[in-house]
Every structure is written in structure tokens, then in C-alpha cells.
């Protein structure tokens, strides 16, 4: 669980940096937002997401 929390923190920082430097609608910023959403979902319900994640990729 600690790794998921750390991942969320890192993705939040990356998103903030990209929004500041690239703007909110840049493809890299949108990718960072998606990564943060995925990390938060894994933190909230890891067992559920671990079952579905391979199917989504």
C-alpha cells in the first residue's frame, strides 16, 4: 500500500509540473492526469483494479 501512496504523490507532482509548464490541455498533461487517476484507483481498491487492469491494457 505504501508504494501506491508514493505513486499517487509522484503523479500529483508530475501533473502539477506539466500543467504549469505545458498547460492543462497538452497531451503529456492529459497523460499525467490519467496516470494519477489510475494510481488513485489502485490506492483505493487495489484488489478490484488488479483484476481489471490487465484487461484494460
How many independent structural domains does the chain possess? 1
Note the pTM of the prediction, 2 decimals. 0.74
Q: Within 13 A of 12's CA, how many CA atoms are on the CB side?
A: 7
pLDDT of res. 4: 79
Range of the domain at 35: 2-56
pLDDT(17) > 80: yes
pLDDT(2) > 80: no
pLDDT of res. 54: 64
50 Cβ partners below 8 Å, 6+ apart? Answer: 42
pLDDT tens across 28-57, in order?
999 999 999 988 887 877 666 666 666 555
Closest-CA residue to 36 (of 55, 23, 6) = 6
Tally Cβ neighbours within 10 Å of residue 36. 20
Amino acid at each position: 500500500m505504501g508504494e501506491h501512496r508514493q505513486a499517487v504523490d509522484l503523479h500529483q507532482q508530475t501533473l502539477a509540473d506539466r500543467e504549469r509548464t505545458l498547460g492543462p490541455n497538452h497531451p503529456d498533461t492529459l497523460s499525467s492526469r490519467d496516470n494519477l487517476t489510475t494510481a488513485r484507483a489502485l490506492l483505493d481498491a487495489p484488489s478490484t483494479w488488479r483484476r481489471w487492469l490487465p484487461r484494460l491494457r
